[in-house]
Structure 1
């Protein structure tokens, strides 16, 4: 299946969870937020939320600085 991840089309296995996708893109373990089709996915639901075929995912990391 295909999904848009941070603006790039990616091939994913069927049933890929948000948690697996975050790991796949190499995001850090803290300071990360995920939006799926425009809605924020709470971290407590990452393991249970499956990325649908054609889904649009944004993985955002906090950046420190001034």
Structure 2
């Protein structure tokens, strides 16, 4: 199946979970990543159960704090 990850279309296996995609994409500091699928936020505790579908658009987001 085809999905788009950070703007790049990729061919991936059927049944791929968000958790496995994070591993496959070598996401840095995965414990701090926020994931959206088709502009909808995915709950952090559900990455193992969230299965991607053909045509999904996935983004990895990092929220930074700080400043004055």
TM range (shorter): 0.7 to 0.9
Identify the range of structure 1 (26-35 vs 48-57) with the bigger mean alpha-carbon deviation.
Answer: 26-35
Which stretches of structure 1, 4 residues or longer, exceed 6 Å deviation after superposition?
A: none
CA distance in structure 2 between the aligned counterparts of 1:11 and 1:29, rounded to whole angstroms: 22
* Structure number with larger C-alpha Rg: 2
Evaluate the alpha carbon distance shift between residue 24 and residue 65 of structure 1 in structure 2; reply closer, same or farther with a 3 A threshold: farther
Instruction: Tell me if 1:35 matches 2:63.
Output: no
Provide the TM-score with structure 2 as the length reference.
Answer: 0.85
**Structure 1 gap segments, 5+ residues each:** none
Provide the TM-score with structure 1 as the length reference.
Answer: 0.87
* Aligned positions, number: 66
Displacement of 1:63 in angstroms is 5.0
